[in-house]
Structure 1
Amino acid sequence: MSSTPVEVDAAVVLLGASVTAITHPLLYVKLLIQVGHEPLPPAAGTTMFGRPVLYLPGFFSYAQYILKVDGKLGLFRGLSPRIVSSTISTVVRGKIKRRELQSKKDEHQNSFRKLVQETSHEMIFQCLSKVATHPFHVMSVRCMAQFVGRETKYSGLFSCIMKIFKEEGLSGFYIGFVPHVLGEVLFLWCCNLLAYFINTYAVDDSFSQASTIRSYTKFVMGITLSVLTYPFTLVADVMAVNNCGLAAGLPPRFPVFKSWLHCWNHLSIEGQLFRGSRLFFRRAPVTLPPSVED
């Protein structure tokens, strides 16, 4: 029996929620690294060329530390807001995918004008999706960041909503929204445009595997650009925690930022714009010895 669209959507949402739950410990550790929480000392190691270097704890060591402090459930702190956010995003992506498939049926030509039109529509859907999901992202980030100072300010989903609205108003749900959206929009346009130009001008139709290469171009571009646009994600997460009453976002760990540009500039000066982008083989930052004058 063929499945109805409602059944397919329900299955996709359920699958998305399951993936979110499974990968949550990864994002939890990543968030703690983003806010600069390093509770474990670095370990001595060597590079592939035999050069001695200090490595900060990787994901597994960090996760074991969280297990030791909070138990197994501690790895899933802040999961419920992420599941709500994931469900909304999954529904939006499903609608975008259906629109793309319908567009391919209606028009077979691969024109640049068509690319711009489709990307513009996708951008609008993505921005509307972020408007709906960003409040849950802020709640999830703050729940996870409580691990740093052992606070219990943000506990449940409804409790988070009431706490943020009471203390910061509606604007509190959209702290860090601008860099988050800018990163998504920049990623979307660059990925689609680069994939289009590579598939159109770099891949020769006479090559036997041309169709296979074209099918993977966008995927490869996405991996590359996700690294380049990572600073937007970092700034958005740091801003979501900054000056909200948690130790993870207050001095001396972070100054109180006036705007996300102030945050970006601060992280850039410290050379930390890509902090948290790697969960394995993390080198300890080099600290210069004090000068004679000091």
Structure 2
Amino acid sequence: MADTFGQVVLGAGLTVLSHPLMYIKVLIQVGHEPLPPTLGRNLFGRQVQQLPGLFAYAKHIIKIDGRSGLYNGLGPRLCAGAIGTVVHSNVLQVGLKTLLGGQQKPAEGSLEHVVNETTKEMIARSCASIITHPFHVITLRCMVQFIGRETKYSGVFSSIVTVYREEGVWGFFAGLIPRLLADVLSLWICNLLAHAFNTYAIDDSMSHTGEIKNCSQAVTGFFASMLTYPFLLVSHLMAVNNCGLAGGLPPYASVYPTWVDCWRHLSREGNMGRGNSLFFRKLPAGKTYAFDQKRFF
């Protein structure tokens, strides 16, 4: 219990610190570009038109809503983090011990061991994601309200009532499937690639083997998150799509019947990586952009 409480407190601290970054990322993902592009240079020194990055975007939000405006949606996100941590911990410590306790444990570092541990983690993460997704949906909608200056999503309880009244139970699970796919695929890609690297590229007789393995886990995790980013993008768009907010309706966004339709639309436009970078944001060629809270894609 003490360990879980410590994880909740640590997670809450990290959530507060990272919230402005996620807030800006979500606004960019849904297509909100309130600032005009500027002339900058790419990694090769060539002049290109660039969309404003993280700090310029943050200054714009502070100018309109003050510093506290960077924390829109923090309440439901903290609820999601705390509940998710408890569910994740309990599933790992109780449920899976009962499910897999009678099996013989494979050797540490073997492929079977990696598969078993990844399966346990996948189940725990999936359970946590499913249970906390309603708070995730409310978090995203609280953020997207910035675009149309709406106030229909404010407190956690009132937001729950709003979603249920307008969309029923299924409204709480908008965008869940691509989110689960992003979590599951990222986890398996990361762990299997790290196992392959640690098995075939690292000799146990090498010095600093532990540090190298930890580094490989971080690198493969970053690579996996890049590969699965389109699923996360689609999940966020579907969570706010056609929910009554300006950011989820035309002209900002098309109304998508399913997340597959959203995926196809983004793929045709070449927007599958939108919001992936918050610093070097090159203006795509052949695009017409309308700024000041108008559709830009």
Q: TM-score, normalised by structure 1?
A: 0.90
Amino acid in structure 2 at the alignment position of 1:150: R
**Residue 55 of structure 1 contacts residue 284 of structure 1 at CA under 8 Å; is this kept in 2?**
yes
**Residue 96 of structure 1 contacts residue 125 of structure 1 at CA under 8 Å; is this kept in 2?**
yes
2:83 is aligned to: 88
**Residue 81 of structure 1 contacts residue 139 of structure 1 at CA under 8 Å; is this kept in 2?**
yes
Match of 1:37 among 21, 32, 40: 32
Question: Which shifted more, 247-256 or 198-207?
Answer: 198-207
Residue 211 (structure 1) shift: 3.0
- Give the whole-Å Cα distance in 2 for the aligned partners of 1:66 and 1:21: 17
- Give the whole-Å Cα distance in 2 for the aligned partners of 1:151 and 1:269: 30
Instruction: Name stretches of at least 5 consecutive residues in structure 1 with no aligned partner.
Output: 1-5, 290-294
Residue 79 (structure 1) shift: 0.5
2:116 is aligned to: 117
Question: Which shifted more, 23-32 or 83-92?
Answer: 83-92
Amino acid in structure 1 at the alignment position of 2:37: P
- Give the whole-Å Cα distance in 2 for the aligned partners of 1:49 and 1:207: 36
Alignment partner of 2:40: what SS? strand
Return the structure number with greater relative CO, CA threshold 8 A, min gap 6: 2
**Residue 234 of structure 2 contacts residue 259 of structure 2 at CA under 8 Å; is this kept in 1?**
yes
1:199 is aligned to: 198
Q: TM-score, normalised by structure 2?
A: 0.89
Alignment partner of 1:286: what SS? coil
Amino acid in structure 2 at the alignment position of 1:178: I
Percent identity for Structure 1 against Structure 2: 50
Residue 97 (structure 1) shift: 7.5
Alignment partner of 1:44: what SS? strand
Residue 90 (structure 1) shift: 2.6
Residue 98 (structure 1) shift: 6.5
Residue 224 (structure 1) shift: 1.2
Alignment partner of 1:279: what SS? coil
Instruction: Name stretches of at least 5 consecutive residues in structure 2 with no aligned partner.
Output: 289-297
Q: Deviations over 1:221-263 (max 9, x none)?
A: 1011111111111000000110000110111211110110100
2:57 corresponds to 1:58: no
1:3 is aligned to: none
Residue 46 (structure 1) shift: 2.2
Amino acid in structure 2 at the alignment position of 1:113: E
Residue 108 (structure 1) shift: 4.7
Residue 36 (structure 1) shift: 0.5
Match of 1:77 among 72, 75, 78: 72
**Residue 241 of structure 1 contacts residue 249 of structure 1 at CA under 8 Å; is this kept in 2?**
yes
Match of 1:23 among 4, 14, 18: 18
Residue 285 (structure 1) shift: 1.7
Alignment partner of 2:48: what SS? strand
- Give the whole-Å Cα distance in 2 for the aligned partners of 1:235 and 1:109: 37
2:294 is aligned to: none
**Residue 96 of structure 1 contacts residue 122 of structure 1 at CA under 8 Å; is this kept in 2?**
no
Amino acid in structure 2 at the alignment position of 1:186: L
Q: 1:96 to 1:210 in 2, by over 3 A?
A: farther
- Give the whole-Å Cα distance in 1 for the aligned partners of 2:210 and 2:270: 41
Q: Deviations over 1:199-225 (max 9, x none)?
A: 112212232233321232212110111
Residue 271 (structure 1) shift: 0.9
